[in-house]
Structure 1
Amino acid sequence: MADETQCAGEMGLTAMNLKPIPIVAPVRADAPRNLSSDGQTYHDPGGRFALGNPGRPFGAKGKHNREMLRQVKELAPKAFQKLCSALDNGERWSVEYILDRVLPQSRTVEFEGATAADVKAALQNGDISTAEAKEMSGTLAKLAEISEITEMRNRLSELEKLLQQPGK
């Protein structure tokens, strides 16, 4: 506590000379207005953002965020080296980190063939839960629809070729 007081005293800050910072600074009459690329201004005469201000484009990063991202990218080699050394030392956190990032969130189930009969057999044997069976059945149904659409397109193109041949 004494160190904090000493630091504040060295800086000349006391409860008596602290003044509130104004939230909105006055705008000079000759100050340039924020013109957009289309030449319009989006400020009212008081310098505040006016209605219809498009603001910053979606996905645009401010100066502070760009700088922080650059600094984080510079740390990447050090972080990777630290992770490798932690793995070499057998530290548990490093192993958990790698496994969390590499393995899928849900458990993995391997099938010899991906058919509805395989899913049914796995469900009956208790190898998968009903939720997993439902998800896999939905995926198989979507794949079947895709293959049917592909087959229909092929048949349609064959019919179009037959119709375009003269004399038939």
Structure 2
Amino acid sequence: MLSRLIRALPRDWLVWMYKAVPFKRLKDYAVHRTQAKFLMSVLGVITDSTGRVMLLKHTYREQPWGIPGGWMEEEKPEEAMAREIREETGLSVKRLRLVKAIYGQKPDRVDLIFRGELDGSELGEKGFKSNSEISDMLLCRPGDWPEGLPEDQKKLITELLREER
């Protein structure tokens, strides 16, 4: 109800009220209650030192292969991406950088897309660790995709790797 009321007010009034109200917490509360809410996810196009792309086999998806990712918690986006990779694989990444943001639906969300590299020192003896969410990991050459990798992810990976060249 508060959001409908505020959306009905002229924008100039809202700006004036925001400037005039001295209580920051009240203003923050009003803004929070009246703005659209989105989930935030992080997705990573992660490569090894030879340029192979890391794909994960998800246990709960119809098309099981995909890039690593998940929902953000109350953390910085880079920390969320590193945490998701660590939780899903037991591995670490380096040189994470945000390269793209995409609006997605079902559910409404903003996907933050990262590029990064696997920390190669862990690929040897420690290696990948499967869990209830991820059953396998694959490092594959771009274009040599496994069956079950969604078309939108193939396109995203190809686009990001091409932009780097």
Normalising by the smaller structure, the TM-score range is: under 0.3
How high is the TM-score relative to the length of structure 2? 0.26
Greater RCO structure (CA 8 Å; 6+ sep)? 2
Structure with more of its chain in helix, by fraction: 1
Structure with greater Cα Rg: 1
Structure with more of its chain in strand, by fraction: 2
